[in-house]
């Protein structure tokens, strides 16, 4: 799929596939690469989310807003609390394709 679109992309798969064919996964620093130079994105959350599906995408991008700090004081109980929050989202420009592997 990625070769047909001339895209060096990202291959998303569940962690259960790592033990299947270790020759396909080459470590380059902290990243896992395919023989074609694509980056593998492997996560435990993909095991249930993707199950037996492998998804190829373009480069993922991330966006985040500025941290927001909220404070609260409870004088009766002599308590001060602060919460810092930030929103973060990751997206891709295009899903190139997906395949379901039948074991």
Residue 21 lies in a domain: yes
In sequence order, what are the beta bridge partners of 11?
40, 56
Query: Where in the sequence is the domain holding 49, given as residue range(s)?
Result: 10-60+91-100
User: CA–CA distance from 101 to each of 13, 34, 77, 90, 98 (Å)?
Assistant: 11, 17, 58, 25, 10
Residue 16 lies in a domain: yes
Comparing 19 with 64, the larger pLDDT belongs to 64
Identify the pLDDT of residue 2.
82
77: tokens are 């109980």
The count of structural domains within the chain is 1
Contact status, residue 40 vs residue 17, Cβ threshold 8 Å: no
What is the arithmetic mean of pLDDT over 18-34?
Answer: 84
The average confidence (pLDDT) of the chain is 89
What is the arithmetic mean of pLDDT over 43-53?
Answer: 83
Q: Give the pLDDT band of residue 83 (cuts 50, 70, 90).
A: very high
């Amino acid at each position: 799929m990625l070769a047909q679109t001339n895209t060096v992309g990202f291959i998303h798969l569940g962690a259960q596939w790592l033990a299947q064919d270790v020759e396909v996964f080459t470590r380059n620093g902290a990243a896992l690469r395919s023989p074609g130079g694509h980056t593998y994105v492997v996560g435990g959350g993909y095991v249930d989310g993707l199950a037996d599906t492998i998804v190829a995408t373009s480069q993922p991008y991330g966006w985040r807003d500025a941290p927001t700090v909220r404070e609260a004081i409870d004088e009766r109980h002599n308590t001060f609390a602060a919460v810092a929050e930030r929103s973060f989202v990751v997206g891709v420009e295009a899903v190139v394709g997906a395949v379901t592997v039948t074991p």
